[in-house]
């Protein structure tokens, strides 16, 4: 989104008092007024033509410098724009506009410090301009000054509660920091004030879609296309909705209408992979996901989708070359381990498949793992150098104590050292800036390690309230419900997850079977457990679930006994297994 630097009406008022050269045409001032109006509508070429006419008719250079620089910048001519903006030689009435244009130029060229200085000069001229403070907030956020950015955004709203740009930014901040549901009212308010603002429409539509309000999202994106028939974001959002509904052909058609404008955006690259997988075009899915996986090596979802595309496309050799090492790492997902194992089997190398099958069968005793992989800190932790990792992250924090990435990494280091309370402290500070799903999982793990179940429960429930589609939060909510004996709620959560795409997740199906048993539905429990066991016969959790579901079936007691013993031999004893064996002995005696 390109910031609008000044409204057409205000620009006109400023231009009426701009100086012109002695003997200049009386039309020079009106040409500047007209040019500023074109600029407010992003009609940069028209503005440039009028400004050059004004210059020919005697307008002073400083009278048009701010507007000419902005017009050239909007035309993506930064070198020419710099000639008009860099000196800061603006007429007093256009000075703030000029310094903001200069700040935008510096920002787009990566000169964040220089951009900050330009904004400081703009603030000195118009300290109570809310839109200016929004631009300052965005600059600070890009520069890693996250809390200062949030304060600048809040200051903008204090200056003008009806400023559309400030409301939009507040919605974006709340979406990152609290969640989707909390953000929605801010976008709704901005939309009521500016119903034809396409940027606000896009933010509102994207948030509504993530919450699951598909009809509202469709209505908003259609309005975007009425205002701008070629709007790429509207087509992209509609493609997301189509893919979620399983209509991959329609999603493909809609993505084609974006004309490649989103081809470098990670979310769109992921969507391309999902669409091609859904349409059975596995080679194209690999082409879409491979560059994204290189850019985001720690993104588990991208990794798993790429591995699946390679497997389904018959690229078994490439799959093991790319993922065999990752699948051997501690904490590797059972799904990835299974794919690597199956690939080795298809290559006729069953001996190499065996270790991955065994690893996939291991029970994960912790709900989540720290997510420091893909960073220098992650490398140090993986090699056991926790002291060096702590020294490094504390050095980073000393330089910038409010930088999100450093705070989360500090929490990871504390968690790796077993300092759960310290991890909770750093993660909580990071959550003041934003709380993605990965941070929610980290905070939950720290609370679990600290034995603070009350906080863990409150965290998950709050996150789920604001992110109702979060599969991770639902899994944790299901686990907590089972932990507290609320088997009906746990079952409902697991059944919802199964219907929403987790129907081949062995752990989920096993957990679901146990909740179905606890709610007295032995038939459903046996069905879920059998599905899990068919998917992975060496998984002890699946064996336990199936064994427990068969305990009450007189015809399957020997099978139940064998399964329970198999589970105990692999993962050791636990209260649920012991209870199932007691029931089996009692029913056999009877």
* Alpha carbons 84 and 484: distance in angstroms, whole number: 67
**Domain finish residue from 417, 445, 470:** 470
For the ranges 65-69, 100-104, 260-264, 444-448, the lowest mean pLDDT is seen at 260-264
Is residue 319 a part of any domain in this protein? no
Q: Is there a contact between 102 and 84 (Cβ–Cβ < 8 Å)?
A: no
* Alpha carbons 536 and 548: distance in angstroms, whole number: 17
Give yes or no: residues 397 and 511 share one domain: no
Domain count, the chain: 3
The three-state (H, E, C) secondary structure of 59-108, written as one string: ECHHHHHHHHHHHHHHCCCHHHHHHHHCCCCCCHHHHHHHHHHHHHHHHH
Is residue 326 a part of any domain in this protein? no
Is residue 137 a part of any domain in this protein? no
For the ranges 295-304, 439-448, 486-495, the lowest mean pLDDT is seen at 295-304
Q: Is the pLDDT of residue 238 over 80?
A: yes
- pLDDT level of residue 589 (50, 70, 90 thresholds): low
Q: What is the DSSP string of 573-585?
A: --HHHHHHHHHHH
List Cβ<8 Å contacts ≥24 apart for 274-281: 274/243, 274/248, 274/305, 275/239, 275/243, 275/248, 275/251, 276/309, 277/305, 277/308, 277/309, 277/312, 278/243, 278/246, 278/248, 278/251, 279/248, 279/249, 279/252
Domain range for 449 is 365-470
Tokens of 335: 């799904």
Q: Is there a contact between 286 and 306 (Cβ–Cβ < 8 Å)?
A: yes
Q: Is there a contact between 410 and 402 (Cβ–Cβ < 8 Å)?
A: no
Is residue 4 a part of any domain in this protein? yes
CA-closest candidate to residue 123, choices 133, 115, 108, 112: 133
Q: What is the DSSP string of 149-180?
A: HHHHHHHHHHH-TT-HHHHHHHHHHHHHHT-H
Average pLDDT, the chain: 90
* Residues forming beta bridges with residue 132, ordered by sequence position: none
Residue carrying the six token digits 């493909």: 252
**Domain finish residue from 437, 470, 503:** 470
* Alpha carbons 368 and 437: distance in angstroms, whole number: 11
Is residue 476 a part of any domain in this protein? no
Question: Which CATH number do you get for residue 435?
Answer: 1.25.40.10
Q: Is there a contact between 478 and 516 (Cβ–Cβ < 8 Å)?
A: no
Give yes or no: residues 424 and 531 share one domain: no
Is residue 278 a part of any domain in this protein? no
- HSE, CB side, 13 Å, CA atoms: give it for residue 81: 24
- pLDDT level of residue 330 (50, 70, 90 thresholds): confident
- pLDDT level of residue 3 (50, 70, 90 thresholds): very low
Q: Is there a contact between 91 and 122 (Cβ–Cβ < 8 Å)?
A: no
Per residue in 533-561, pLDDT (tens digit) is: 998 888 899 999 999 999 988 788 899 99
Q: What pLDDT was estimated at residue 378?
A: 78
**Domain finish residue from 74, 97, 127:** 127
Q: Is the pLDDT of residue 169 over 80?
A: yes
364-395: buried (b, 16+ CB within 10 Å) or exposed (e) per residue? eeeebbbbbbebebbebbeeeebeebbebbee
Is residue 215 a part of any domain in this protein? no
Q: What pLDDT was estimated at residue 588?
A: 62
Give yes or no: residues 490 and 561 share one domain: yes
Give yes or no: residues 408 and 454 share one domain: yes
Give yes or no: residues 515 and 439 share one domain: no
- pLDDT level of residue 364 (50, 70, 90 thresholds): low
Q: Is the pLDDT of residue 2 over 50?
A: no
Give yes or no: residues 452 and 520 share one domain: no
Q: Is there a contact between 33 and 11 (Cβ–Cβ < 8 Å)?
A: yes
Q: Is there a contact between 353 and 344 (Cβ–Cβ < 8 Å)?
A: yes
Per residue in 477-487, pLDDT (tens digit) is: 999 999 999 99
Give yes or no: residues 2 and 123 share one domain: yes
């Amino acid at each position: 989104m390109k910031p609008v630097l000044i409204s057409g009406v205000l620009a006109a008022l400023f231009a009426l008092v701009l100086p012109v050269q002695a003997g200049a045409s009386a039309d020079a001032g009106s040409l500047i007024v007209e040019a500023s109006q074109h600029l407010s509508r992003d009609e940069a070429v028209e503005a440039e033509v009028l400004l050059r006419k004004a210059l020919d008719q005697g307008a002073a250079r400083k009278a048009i410098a701010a507007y000419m620089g902005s017009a050239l910048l909007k035309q993506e001519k930064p070198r020419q724009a710099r000639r008009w903006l860099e000196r800061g030689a603006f007429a007093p009435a256009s000075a703030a506009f000029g310094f903001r244009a200069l700040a935008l130029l510096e920002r787009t060229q990566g000169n964040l410090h220089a951009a900050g200085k330009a904004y400081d000069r703009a603030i000195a001229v118009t300290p109570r301009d809310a839109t200016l403070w929004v631009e300052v907030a965005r600059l600070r956020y890009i520069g890693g000054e996250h809390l200062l950015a949030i304060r600048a955004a809040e200051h903008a709203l204090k200056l003008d509660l009806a400023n559309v740009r400030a409301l939009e930014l507040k919605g974006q901040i709340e979406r990152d920091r609290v969640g989707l549901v909390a953000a929605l009212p801010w976008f709704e308010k901005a939309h009521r004030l500016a119903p034809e603002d396409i940027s606000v429409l896009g933010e509102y539509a994207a948030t509504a879609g993530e919450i699951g309000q598909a009809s509202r999202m469709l209505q908003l994106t259609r309005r975007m296309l009425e205002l701008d028939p070629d709007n790429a974001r509207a087509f992209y959002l509609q493609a997301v909705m189509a893919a979620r509904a399983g209509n991959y052909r329609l999603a493909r058609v809609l993505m084609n209408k974006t004309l490649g404008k989103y081809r470098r955006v990670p979310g769109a690259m992921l969507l391309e992979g999902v669409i091609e997988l859904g349409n059975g075009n596995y080679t194209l899915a690999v082409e879409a996901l491979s560059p994204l996986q290189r850019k985001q090596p720690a993104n588990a979802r991208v990794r798993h989708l790429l591995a699946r595309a390679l497997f389904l496309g018959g690229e078994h050799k490439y799959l093991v070359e790319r993922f065999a090492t990752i699948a051997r790492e501690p904490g590797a997902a059972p799904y990835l381990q299974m794919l690597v194992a199956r690939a080795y089997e298809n290559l006729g190398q069953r001996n190499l498949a065996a270790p991955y099958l065994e690893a996939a069968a291991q029970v994960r005793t912790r709900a989540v793992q720290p997510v420091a992989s893909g960073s220098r800190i992650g490398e140090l932790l993986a090699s056991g150098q926790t002291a060096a990792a702590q020294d490094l992250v504390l050095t980073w924090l000393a330089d910038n104590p409010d930088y999100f990435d450093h705070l989360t990494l500090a929490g990871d280091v504390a968690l790796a050292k077993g300092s759960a309370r310290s991890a909770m402290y750093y993660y909580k500070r990071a959550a003041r800036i934003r709380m993605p799903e990965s941070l929610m999982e980290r905070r939950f793990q720290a609370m679990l390690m600290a034995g603070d179940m009350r906080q863990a429960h409150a965290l998950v429930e709050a996150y789920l309230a604001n992110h109702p589609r979060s599969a991770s939060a639902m899994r944790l909510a299901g686990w907590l419900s089972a932990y507290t004996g609320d088997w009906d709620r746990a079952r409902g959560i697991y059944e919802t997850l199964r219907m929403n795409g987790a129907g081949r997740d062995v752990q989920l199906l096993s957990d679901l079977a146990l909740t179905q048993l606890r709610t007295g539905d032995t038939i459903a429990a046996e069905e879920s457990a059998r599905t899990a066991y068919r998917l992975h016969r060496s998984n002890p959790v699946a064996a336990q679930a199936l064994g427990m579901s068969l305990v009450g079936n007189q015809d399957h007691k020997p099978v139940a006994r064998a399964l329970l013993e198999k589970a105990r031999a692999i993962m050791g004893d636990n209260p649920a297994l012991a209870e199932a064996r007691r029931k089996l002995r009692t029913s056999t005696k009877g």
